[in-house]
Amino acid sequence: MHMLSSFGRRLRRLPINAFTAIRQNPKSVALGGLYTINFACACHLFLEYVATVQIVYGPSMLPTMSEAGELVVENRMRYRIDPRNLKRGDLVTLESPIEPGRFICKRVLGLPGDTICVDPTGLKAPSTEHVFIPKGHCWLVGDNAALARDSRDYGPVPMSLIRVIPFPQLQDFSDLSVVFELVRLLSHETHMHYLVR
Amino acid sequence: MRNAYTSWTKLSSTHPVLKWSQTILFWLPTGIIFTKHGFTVRVVTGNSMQPTLNPDPSQPRDIVLFDRFSIESLRQYERGDIVALKSPHEHGKLLIKRIVALPGDTVRTLPPYPDKEVTLPNGYAWLEGDSSFESEDSNHFGPVPLALIDSRLVWIVWPWGRHGPLGTGKIGRRYSRSVEAAELERAARLRERV
């Protein structure tokens, strides 16, 4: 009985809302807020520098990524540690060169020093047009050449825009991952034909 | 584990240096985020922005306040602003240039550039250094994606003699009348080329 009544008294003493809490103990509430902000900052740093999960959507990367959206685990360390880790055929996410603040996912086709055929199909440029990729730039294409807006439209892209190389082995969590892997390899093969050296 | 923790707290409570470093380490994430997305102070070297920055070749190190918040979050790009951009050619290098033209503008270019006039496509800017002879800018490498712009330079912190705001029309009290007139004339020249 005594315990119950003391519990009730304690309950009555508990702050009912945030305002009473601040009035009763302003210092500890403020400190708690600062701790929360600090913790959020630490989480943000981890997501920014180590690894993060993001949803990639849109038609430009079919069939590697579904149009409705696909979860991608991004390895944020690999590119930051050494930009030379970037290989032809890697997937990258980067800030769009034509729309600042928007992030896009593309595949690397050419690195600095390569000479690339702009569009072998002749849709967006004459199929005989070739481009030399200057220092610090790379040539990016979407896997779905018909619908992607990529280097064929805006030319070589500065490598400083690249943020991340996603983990290739963790791109899809579906049961059909083997099939997807095969399709991706095939599409990768067709893209490699574009490369003229 | 618990033993190690208690012994560590005992040790750090007796050594003020340990305690302070522990506190600093604990609050470090907030500080890093503030400098990464808010404001930071950095040293500017090189002579491509003379006479606005580093006008005296014998003291080539101005310390300037960089504002990342207005670029990264608010996306305010204005003609005449001095900005730091990630170099399009070298990874991890920052260049300091002035925004001359924004998407949609047509610029009359200067000699090293092959074309006489350039109309900027969507998402691209034309950036130039103030001393056009010594600076490698858009006249060499063409229009630059806005996404490469990292921060805006807002305030000269050091040297104390030229301490004051930077940017469009903010020439400040740090110059004599004649220098101010020259600065205004240069700004007008830049504007009429757009």
- Say if the Cβ atoms of A158 and B90 lie within 8 Å: no
A158 in contact with chain B, both atoms CB, cutoff 8 A = yes
pLDDT at A148: 85
- Angle, nearest 10°, between helix axes A26-49 and B16-37? 60
Catalytic residue, from B12, B58, B87, B97: name it. B97
Which amino acid, residue A170?
A: L
- For the full predicted model, state whether its pTM sits above 0.95: no
Question: For residue A1, what pLDDT band results from cuts at 50, 70 and 90?
Answer: low
- Summarize pLDDT for A123-147 with one digit per residue, the tens: 787 878 888 999 889 999 988 888 8
Concatenate the DSSP letters of all residues of B65-81 into one string.
EEE-HHHHTS----TT-
Tell me the average pLDDT across B17-22. 90
Residue A106 appears among annotated catalytic residues = yes
Which tens digits make up the pLDDT trace of A70-106?
A: 777 777 777 878 888 888 888 888 888 888 888 888 8
Whole-Å CA distances, B180 to A114, B52, B173: 48, 11, 9
State the alpha helices, DSSP H only, in B38-99: 69-72
Asked whether the predicted pLDDT for residue B32 surpasses 90, the reply is yes
H-state helical runs in chain A: 2-13, 18-24, 26-49, 77-81, 151-154, 177-192
Q: Which residue has the higher pLDDT, A186 or B7?
A: B7
The answer to whether the CB atoms of B91 and A159 lie below 8 A apart is: yes
Nearest Cα of chain B lies from the Cα of A149 at a distance, in angstroms, of 14
Closest CA to A192 of A58, A124, A90: A90
Among A41, A49, A137, pick the best mutation site for testing chain B contact (most B Cβ within 10 A).
A41
Distance CA B160, CA A155 (A): 44
pLDDT score for A28? 86
Q: Distance (Å) from the C-alpha of residue B71 to the closest C-alpha of chain A?
A: 10
The string over A1-29, giving b where at least 16 C-beta atoms fall within 10 Å of a residue's C-beta and e elsewhere, is eeeeeeeeeeeeeeeeeeeeeeeeeeeee
C-alpha–C-alpha distance, residues A29 and A190, integer Å: 60
| Shortest Cα–Cα distance, B27 to chain A (Å) | 6
Q: Which residue of B138, B146, B149, B152 to mutate against A (max A Cβ within 10 Å)?
A: B146
SS3 A179: helix
Dist. CA A101–CA B73, nearest whole Å: 9
Predicted pLDDT at A24 = 80
Q: Is A82 an interface residue toward B (CB < 8 Å)?
A: no
How far out from the chain centre does Cα A175 lie? 23
Q: Which amino acid is at A24?
A: Q
Tell me the chain A residues in contact with residue B88 when contact means C-beta distances shorter than 8 Å: 136-137, 158, 160
Q: Is pLDDT of A175 > 80?
A: no
Which of A55-64, A114-123, A170-179, B185-194 comes out lowest in average pLDDT?
A: A170-179
What is the per-residue pLDDT across A148-165, written as a single tens digit (0 to 9) for each? Answer: 888 988 889 999 888 877
Q: What is the pLDDT at residue B172?
A: 45
pLDDT confidence bin for B162, thresholds 50/70/90: confident
Residue of A nearest to B91 (CA): A160
Q: Is B116 a catalytic residue?
A: no
pLDDT at B88 over 70: yes
Query: What is the Cα–Cα distance from A161 to A98, expressed in whole angstroms?
Result: 11
Give the mean pLDDT of chain B: 84
C-alpha to C-alpha distance for A69 and A173, rounded to whole angstroms: 12
- Catalytic residue, chosen from A27, A96, A106, A151, is A106
Is A113 touching B (CB cutoff 8 A)? no
Query: CB B121 to CB A154 under 8 A?
Result: yes
CA triplet B152, B156, B161: central angle to 5 degrees?
Answer: 165
Q: Cβ contact (<8 Å) for A96 and B89? A: no
Q: Is the pLDDT higher at A111 or at A9?
A: A111
